[in-house]
Amino acid sequence: MGKLSGRIAIVTGAASGIGRGCAELFAREGATVVVADVQQKAGRELAETIGGSFEYVDVTDPASVEAMIGRAAERHGRIDILMNNAGIDGAQANTADSSLENWDRVLAINLNGVYYGMKYVLPYMVDQKGGVILNTASTVGLNAMGALPAYSASKAGVIHLTKAVAIENALHRIRVNAICPSVVLSPLLEHFIANTPDPEGARQGFEMLNPLPGMVTIEAVAKSALFLVSDDSEFITAVALPIDGGYTAR
């Protein structure tokens, strides 16, 4: 028996990166995973591979999020876990030089998308008298970073929204937590490193970013996510868990 045996889990942004790693691990632990993403080809392929189902969703559109959750609930009969993971980093620029378009897009995906997911899944979880919500934030939401004003604000917002919703729904036995990874070794980061003027120097810099040497892996994030959505964390709610090798302790 897996740690999530018999449970229905929705993961947004599941077609790649952290979302994909979490969807795969949740499935290995027995969950039926709803792969929710705008990337239809990759999303459908993953759903088939892990024995789940695919649902198209644009997390910036509340109607799309509401419809996706409704279809998942109708198909599976309940929703035990929602992982609001879809997100982007946006363009890097100091606040005065950043664009309004970037601000609006990053907040729409990273913060509004999390709000919509929770807003529309909570009625189902209240009716079934329990559930778990996990939101993907960032160490940047805990320790501010320059040149990423929209990303910093969005992830700080996710953390406080997580805590507010956890408090509101504790009596319904709904747990709500957030994960806060540092820089994660992913295909996106590998592409970024390869395109810097000094790839080896960039890699070494990222490997020494945290007090614990090396970079956070997708596997490490997925294992932490599994802990927070499983019964291993049955009395943990309103927590923003750093996965950062000590970065936020400095």
Per-residue model confidence as pLDDT tens digits over 113-159: 999 999 999 999 999 999 999 999 999 999 988 999 999 999 999 99
Active site residue 163: no
**Looking at 120, 155, 224, 233, which residue is catalytic?**
155
CA–CA gap between residue 201 and residue 18 (Å, rounded): 25
With H, G, I as helix, E, B as strand and everything else as coil, classify residue 216. strand
* Strands 131-136 and 174-181, sheet pairing: parallel
56 is catalytic: no
pLDDT digits (tens, 9 = 90+) for 115-125: 999 999 999 99
Catalytic residue among 53, 64, 98, 138: 138
pLDDT value of residue 32: 98
| Cβ-based neighbours of 67, under 8 Å, separated by 6 or more | none
CA-atom Rg of the chain in angstroms: 17
- Collapsing DSSP to helix, strand or coil, 104 comes out as helix
Note if 151 is an active site residue: yes
Cβ proximity of 117 and 132 under 8 Å: no
Task: Give the active site residue among 115, 116, 120, 151.
Answer: 151
- The pLDDT-based confidence of 195 (bands split at 50, 70, 90) is confident
Q: Look up the pTM and report it.
A: 0.97
Q: Report all structural domains of the chain as residue ranges with CATH numbers, in order of start.
A: 8-184+217-243 (3.40.50.720)
- CA angle in degrees (0–180, nearest 5) for 100-103-108: 125
